[in-house]
Amino acid sequence: MTLVKVAPPLDQDIDLSRTYDAVIVGSGAAGGMAAHVLTTHGLQVLMLEAGKKLPIEQELRSMQWPYDHPRRGEAPPGSHHLSFNEYTIRKPPYAKGAAFKHVYSYVGGWTGSDYVKNILVDEKDHPYTGTNYAWVRARCLGGKTNIWGRLALRLSDYDFKAKSHDGYGEDWPISYADVEPYYDKVDLYLGISGVKENLPHLPDSQFQRPSKLNFGEVKLRESLKKGGQVLTPYRAGVTTDGLKHNKYRSKCYGRGACERRGGCDIHAVFDSPTGLIYPAMDTGRLTVRPNSIAYEILVDKNTGRARGVAFLDSTTRKSYEAKAKVVVVGASTLESARLLLLSRSPQHPNGLGNSSGHVGHNFCEHVMGPGVTGLIKELVGKPHTLDDGRPGGFYIPRFRNLKDRQPGFIRGYGYEGNSGHTMFPAHVMDTPGFGGAFKRSVRDHAGAFISMGAFGEVLARYESYVDLDPDTKDKWGIPVLRFHYQFSDNERKMAEDMVATGREMLEAAGIELVGTDEKVLTEGWSIHELGTARMGNDPKTSVLNQFQQSHDVRNLFVVDGSSHVSASCQNPTWTIMALAWRSCEHLADEFRKGNL
Amino acid sequence: MTDAAQLSRREMIAATAAALVTPLLPGGAASTPVAVGVPGKFLTAAEFGMLDALTELIMPADEHSPGARAAAVAAFIDGRLAESLEPDWQAKWRSGLQTVDGLSRELNAKPFLEATSDQRVAVLTRMAAGEQDPKTAPERFFGELKGWTVRAYYTSKIGIHLDQEYKGNVYQRGEFAGYDAK
């Protein structure tokens, strides 16, 4: 067996005296895709990343056994991960007054915090204010794609045309037919694993080999099938067959490290650096500058158009300007909104591209937390099997408000779930007692559980927004975001249905219900924030057109999740990349014609 | 890579064979041998001995697999306590162990380490009585003690390989285990 181990391309010298064709802010799913598409079309591109370029394999150490780590995976003393209670009871900025040397978001948990401590931002350096929000940020090359959850789903016209379906909010300025070819391109370029199900509300991808379902999952799938519902193997943004065109990524070997650590050091899981950025660097047309914190998009005084990006070097704190003919923003939904709002000028007094007043608004995401756990009695006491080598367990697509109309809420949710053996028998925490009988019970019940948790659409509302805090600044003196964002009754009613329906599903399958989670997790927990610079046909009520191009500034594009008009209930990464591909193709075309 | 992982597992089993063949505990004699592992980094020798005995009572060796003592659970907890920058957490353990000793004097009229095996079980049984809704100091300490014991045990070589017989964290070839979705 040969594993792909190709070193990243060498760093190039940065020449800030030249004017690049395009400067990209951010190196995650959106920025990486922009770099791929623009360099493919011959543009000379500079990418600015606020964080470090990490030796990521050394960070992730995907196969390290817990006992080979001095703290079984935990970060050294002095580090602290925020808990649900802290997020809920206290107010941001959460690290204010903390006695710890470093404070991180909840991601990492107790088995993995040492592996993400350099990937996540230190909350002490990156405060924010306002309403409660669990804001997870990864400042490093590739951003959150280094540790993402891998579920790679398409949206359908139930999402793009949601207003036409139920009257709420706005339709997107595009339909599924516009995006479908780009979903296909993303599938084939990056690799995705799954099973075709022919669902109108969850279109199929160009799948590579799927992972298999295990006993409990098949049992639930068969039961759901009787009611016309679907349980499908996790659609993972993972190459299971390998990619001949990418020398930086291996195929998946079912090591299971993604479930334990959330990162893949052989890059079978898509991440932006090996999937998009390194190949783009190999064209000779992409230069990457890490440690570069963009704080303003610069505007030409005469034309009002973007002329480049002002940034600080995060280590020297020196200020620089990167000049470009086109500015592409992909800094993440909230950081992109922040950058636009920071870019005030006489021509753009409310922030760049914000004549509509909609930048920062219509902020939406997914609500999560509610779920159920069941015991599959047939598996108690059976020999232990290898179940957690898969990139994921299963997904139950949305079923609410497609044909029916729920009385309590609009839109829908899907369940992500898992069953089988894991390295750490998590049920030990819920097994009472001690001693020989306790130890035997933990052993006998290991692998006999099935759990699932729902992700639901949070409605986009103008009243849900972020703006700049007038007083608070980050470590580099840049004004921070202030949140005005809370779940509403629609999300709470939906959350009740998530628990009740999950219970019915397990019981109908003859699986004993042993636990329910009714708690809705803090806003932000899903790490699926969207919508702060939405697309639309009307410049008065939207920030971007259908090609993620600013209505106000035609050489400014915002290609990340901020452009989404509604959250849908499907995980957004694959849609972010399909849209960025489509928009950057349009950008390159317009650039060639001299229209930008 | 698969081979390497399995090799290391075989080596590990060989290394712990002694623990497997030595008959241990249930209902055994009072003077259980104290402390495998490094004693007293943060805890005193007496405190460490108590912790070692308590973890083994929670997670005992049985016919299937070695227990917390062989897995050096107490040494792991002691090491974490020693390097901790949180005095409140360190104090919680010191006072928690004192509480256990106090409970043993109350129930058995002798310190925990001088108590018989049955008497020690009686102490832990009392501590575990309020597991769902702990009220007294010993009951509250039980949650902390058990939580750290099982974490350390199931992340140890013995816990992962011998007790759970975990089969993953290997490079798999071909189709992975499971059932076809069709």
| pLDDT tens per residue across span A111-126 | 568 999 999 999 999 9
In a domain, B45, yes or no: yes
The confidence score (pLDDT) of residue A4 equals 62
Is residue B6 predicted with pLDDT exceeding 60?
no
Residues of B in contact with A72 (CB under 8 A): 76, 151-152, 155
pTM of the model: 0.92
Reported as a single tens digit per residue, the pLDDT across B103-130 is 999 999 999 999 999 999 999 999 999 9
The confidence score (pLDDT) of residue A13 equals 72
CA distance A577 to A276: 11
Beta strands in A217-341 (DSSP E): 232-233, 286-289, 292-299, 306-313, 319-329
Helix, strand, or coil here: A514?
strand
**B155–A111 C-beta distance less than 8 A:** yes
The confidence score (pLDDT) of residue B41 equals 87
Contact A243, A188 (CB under 8 A): no
Instruction: Answer positive or negative: Cα dihedral of A533, A539, A541, A547.
Output: negative
Mean pLDDT (10-residue bins), chain A, 596 residues: 70 86 98 98 98 92 92 90 94 93 83 85 97 97 95 98 98 98 98 97 96 94 96 96 94 84 89 98 97 97 94 96 98 98 95 98 98 97 90 96 96 97 92 97 97 98 98 98 98 98 98 97 97 98 98 98 98 98 98 96
Q: Is A214 on the interface with B (CB under 8 A)?
A: yes
CA A85 vs. chain centroid, Å, equals 23
Structural domain that includes position B12:
2-96+112-121+144-163
The confidence score (pLDDT) of residue A5 equals 72
Reported as a single tens digit per residue, the pLDDT across A351-408 is 999 999 999 999 999 999 999 999 999 999 999 888 888 999 999 999 999 999 999 9
Helix, strand, or coil here: A479?
strand
Burial of B37 (0-12, 13-18, 19+ CB in 10 A): middle
The confidence score (pLDDT) of residue A294 equals 98
CA distance A483 to A469: 9
Measure CB to CB from residue A384 to each of B59, B165, B173 and give the nearest one: B165
Residues of B in contact with A210 (CB under 8 A): 181
Residues of A in contact with B157 (CB under 8 A): 65, 67
Bridge partners, residue A238, by sequence: A269
Higher pLDDT, A528 or B38: A528
Could you tell me which residues come within 8 angstroms of residue B17 by beta carbon, excluding any fewer than 6 positions away?
A: none
The confidence score (pLDDT) of residue A9 equals 85
Q: A41: how many CB neighbours lie within 10 A of its CB?
A: 16
**A423–B169 C-beta distance less than 8 A:** yes
Closest residue by Cα to residue B93 from B58, B45, B54, B145: B145
Q: Is B62 on the interface with A (CB under 8 A)?
A: yes
Domain count, chain B: 1
**B156–A67 C-beta distance less than 8 A:** yes
Bridge partners, residue A48, by sequence: A25, A289
Is residue B182 predicted with pLDDT exceeding 50?
no
In a domain, B33, yes or no: yes
**B156–A443 C-beta distance less than 8 A:** no
The confidence score (pLDDT) of residue A344 equals 96
Beta strands in A364-445 (DSSP E): 366-375, 394-396, 413-419
What are the structure tokens assigned to A596, written together?
Answer: 């930008």
Average pLDDT for residues B168-176, to the nearest whole number? 81
**A429–B128 C-beta distance less than 8 A:** no
The confidence score (pLDDT) of residue B17 equals 32
**B171–A390 C-beta distance less than 8 A:** no
The confidence score (pLDDT) of residue B181 equals 40
**B86–A214 C-beta distance less than 8 A:** no
**A211–B177 C-beta distance less than 8 A:** no
Q: Which of B117, B167, B173 to mutate to test the interface with A (most CBs of A within 10 A)?
A: B167
CA distance B78 to B143: 17
Helix, strand, or coil here: A480?
strand
CATH number of A19-593: 3.50.50.60
DSSP-assigned states of every residue in A90-117? S-SSTTTT--SSEEE-STTHHHHHHHHT
Chain B residue with CA closest to A256: the answer is B169
* Assembly ipTM: 0.92
The confidence score (pLDDT) of residue A3 equals 63
In a domain, B127, yes or no: no
Measure CB to CB from residue B178 to each of A63, A111, A212 and give the nearest one: A212
The confidence score (pLDDT) of residue A365 equals 98
| Summary count for chain B: helices (H), strands (E) | 8, 0
Average pLDDT for residues B49-56, to the nearest whole number? 97
**A423–B160 C-beta distance less than 8 A:** yes
Is residue B167 predicted with pLDDT exceeding 60?
yes
Contact A377, B157 (CB under 8 A): no
Contact A112, A260 (CB under 8 A): yes
Chain A residue with CA closest to B169: the answer is A255
Put simply, the chain A residues between 103 and 162 with a CB less than 8 A from any chain B CB are 110-111
CA distance A70 to B12: 18
Q: A189: how many CB neighbours lie within 10 A of its CB?
A: 18
Residues of A in contact with B178 (CB under 8 A): 211-214, 387, 390
Is residue B66 predicted with pLDDT exceeding 50?
yes
The confidence score (pLDDT) of residue A260 equals 72
The confidence score (pLDDT) of residue A257 equals 80
**A256–B169 C-beta distance less than 8 A:** yes
CA distance A54 to A119: 8
- Categorise residue B25: left if φ over 0, alpha if ψ from -120 to 50, beta otherwise: left
In a domain, B64, yes or no: yes
CA distance A543 to A355: 8
What are the structure tokens assigned to B116, written together?
Answer: 């018989």
In a domain, B177, yes or no: no
Average pLDDT for residues B11-15, to the nearest whole number? 32
The confidence score (pLDDT) of residue A258 equals 80
The confidence score (pLDDT) of residue A7 equals 83
The confidence score (pLDDT) of residue A109 equals 61
Closest residue by Cα to residue A549 from A175, A539, A540, A38: A539
**A213–B128 C-beta distance less than 8 A:** no
Measure CB to CB from residue A213 to each of B58, B157, B178 and give the nearest one: B178
Closest residue by Cα to residue B178 from A310, A240, A102, A155: A240
Measure CB to CB from residue A63 to each of B121, B154, B169 and give the nearest one: B169
In a domain, B169, yes or no: no
In a domain, B132, yes or no: no
C-alpha torsion B10→B16→B22→B27, nearest 10: -110
Q: Which residues of A115-127 are buried (b: 16+ CB within 10 A; e: fewer)?
A: bbbbbbbbbbebb
Closest residue by Cα to residue B126 from B106, B110, B111, B148: B106
User: Distances from the Cα of A446 to the Cαs of A97, A195, A420, in angstroms?
Assistant: 41, 28, 8
What are the structure tokens assigned to B107, written together?
Answer: 């129930």
The confidence score (pLDDT) of residue B173 equals 77
Cis bond upstream, residue A70 (ω within 30): no
Is residue B37 predicted with pLDDT exceeding 50?
no
Is residue B8 predicted with pLDDT exceeding 70?
no
In a domain, B48, yes or no: yes
Measure CB to CB from residue B157 to each of A67, A110, A214 and give the nearest one: A67
The confidence score (pLDDT) of residue B36 equals 34
Is residue B21 predicted with pLDDT exceeding 70?
no
CA distance A31 to B52: 53
